[in-house]
Amino acid sequence: MVSLKEKLLSDFEGLKIDDREADRLFIDTQKEAVLSLLSYLKKAGYNHLAMVSCTDWIDEGKFELVYIVNAYLSGDQVFGKKEKKCIVIRTKISRQSARFMTVMEIFENAEPYEREMHEMFGIDFEGHPRLTPLMLERDYKIPPFRKDFDTLNYVNNTFGKIPSIEQRKEGLK
């Protein structure tokens, strides 16, 4: 029985696979290979996209997008029981004008995650039908989850600027 790792290595090139952990397989890849890798894994039985998240490596000037897929119906999986429970795919995109393709054709439920990435990090997903704001009510010049967004001075500039009632009354007199 060929293990998933060898199969991946044979089918794709330029993958760095780390399977030291018991039930998780980490794959680092270029951004072009992500879509084909995801559809390959979906066909292989990992049909549930559990999470899409992003970390901001500001000193490298890169966003790292992380896709976690796992297998709900592990029974009919091609590679048998002993395979890994979930697979984490990591890829790095440049930070300046952050753009990436949407994975909604493969995984329909990626829609809110990508909207959140767009709102919080400012990543633009081409092909996403509704990139409207998900949670935030106000608009921020720099998306708030970016490292260069200085929350303390933002708080001082907005809430700090609003005077207390007594100050307003003295200001009035």
CB crowding 115-127: b at 16 or more within 10 Å, else e: bbbbbbbbbebee
Secondary structure element (H or E) that encloses residue 28, with its range: strand 24-28
Nearer residue to another protein within complex by CB, 58 or 155: 155
Q: Per-residue string for binding with another protein, 111-150, x by CB under 8 A?
A: -------------------------xxx-x---x----x-
Q: How far is the CB of 120 from another protein (least distance, A)?
A: 11
Given the rule CB under 8 A, which of 23-31, 49-57, 107-115, 165-173 is the region that contacts another protein? 165-173
Nearer residue to another protein within complex by CB, 13 or 148: 148
Biggest CA–CA distance in the chain, Å, is 85
Q: How far is the CB of 112 from another protein (least distance, A)?
A: 18
Q: How far is the CB of 146 from another protein (least distance, A)?
A: 11
d(CA 146, CA 163): 28
d(CA 140, CA 151): 11
Given the rule CB under 8 A, which of 21-29, 77-85, 97-105, 156-164 is the region that contacts another protein? 156-164
Residue 30, sorted as left (phi over 0), alpha (psi -120 to 50) or beta, turns out to be beta
User: What phi, psi does 143 have (nearest 5°)?
Assistant: -55, 135
Residues forming the site for another protein (CB under 8 A) = 136-138, 140, 144, 149, 151-152, 154-155, 158-165, 167-169, 171-172
